[in-house]
Amino acid sequence: MIILECQYCGTEFTAERISAKYCSDSCKTKANTQRRENELIQRKNEARQAEIEREAELKRESDEYFAAEKAENERIIAEQRKQSEEKRRLRERERHEKDREKKINEAEQKFKLTALGIVAALGIGYKIIQAITKPVTPTAKAPHMPNNQTDEISSPNPNHEPIANHSKQKKEPTKNK
């Protein structure tokens, strides 16, 4: 007989075989139960650790995905802001161009009104301007007129008398009687 120490409770016992580990069947059952519980706890801990690692990996992937998605969203937002700014600048340029055209039109209208006012104030009409700018032609009889009548359109003198050129004519002395 051999004296051994029980692996479950730690008491010394007399064993018939050298491979005996427990002092009684009760310690053997309790040890097996505890071993199975420890294995179960270890499997649960390993499963939990694996789950934690999977969650961490998913979180990293998610963070990477969301970081990429966030970067893409920020790029899209920046592009939209840029387009919006370009549209605003274009509208502003168009507004300035319209204002400029409006001012030019107003200035042209003022000029026209001023010119018309000057013409009206001086009493100068379109026909008078034409008559002034029309070249003077010698008096001639129109073919459709009687002998003594001349064409009034071509004659600048309403009395139908020829215009005397006083600067070139020599005066003859008059005889006294």
CB 139 within 8 A of CB 154: yes
Interatomic CA distance for residues 77 and 84, integer angstroms = 10
Average pLDDT for 20-44: 94
Asked if the structure places residue 145 within a domain, the reply is: no
Asked if the structure places residue 116 within a domain, the reply is: yes
Q: Quick one: tokens of 94?
A: 């168009």
Asked if the structure places residue 20 within a domain, the reply is: yes
Asked if the structure places residue 173 within a domain, the reply is: no
Asked if the structure places residue 49 within a domain, the reply is: yes
Asked if the structure places residue 70 within a domain, the reply is: yes
Residue with tokens 């042209």: 108
Asked if the structure places residue 133 within a domain, the reply is: no
Domain containing 88 equals 2-122
Burial group, residue 22, by CB count within 10 angstroms (0-12, 13-18, 19+): buried
Burial group, residue 13, by CB count within 10 angstroms (0-12, 13-18, 19+): middle
Model confidence at 67: pLDDT above 60: yes
Model confidence at 64: pLDDT above 70: yes
User: Percentage of residues in the chain with pLDDT exceeding 70?
Assistant: 65
Tell me how many domains the chain contains: 1
pLDDT tens-digit series, residues 68-110: 888 889 999 999 999 999 999 999 999 999 999 999 999 988 8
pLDDT tens-digit series, residues 99-140: 999 999 999 888 877 777 676 656 555 556 666 666 656 555
What are the Cα distances from residue 3, in Å, to 19, 21, 22, 76, 101? 12, 11, 11, 81, 118
Q: 29-38, 66-75, 152-161: which has the minimum mean pLDDT? A: 152-161
Asked if the structure places residue 100 within a domain, the reply is: yes
